[in-house]
Amino acid sequence: MTTYENQLMQLIEDRCGNFSPKEVAEKLIRIGVVDFSRCKILAVREYVQEQMKKGKLKVDVMWEAAERFACSYEYVRKCVYYYRDVNWR
């Protein structure tokens, strides 16, 4: 990890040690530390992957994701196929 990453981890531990993971995430989003556009990409990608694990067809799930996240099918397509550097796993 870089010096910046270590410093951020120490800051989170010092200031948010008693918070739940949800509260830590909310605080980081609120103060602007988290890149919200990358979070949106991750949310769409994870939704599509989870629905496909349930046996649904990818194209159908991508249309569902566009409706669920109130975005275009093209945006969902980009999230799934082009933004490969945003992965949870």
> What are the extents of the domains in the chain?
1-34, 36-81
What is the per-residue pLDDT across 11-41, written as a single tens digit (0 to 9) for each?
888 888 889 989 988 888 888 888 888 889 9
Read off the pLDDT of residues 51-83 as tens digits, 9 standing for 90 and up.
999 999 999 999 999 999 999 999 999 999 998
Check whether 85 has a pLDDT greater than 80.
no
- 88: confidence class by pLDDT, cuts 50, 70, 90: low
Q: Kindly give the residue spans of alpha helices, DSSP state H, lying in 1-89.
A: 3-16, 21-30, 36-53, 58-68, 73-81
Is the CB of residue 26 less than 8 Å from the CB of residue 19?
Answer: no
What is the predicted pLDDT for the residue at 5? 87
What does residue 70 show for φ and ψ, rounded to 5 degrees?
A: 50, 55
pLDDT at 84 over 80: no
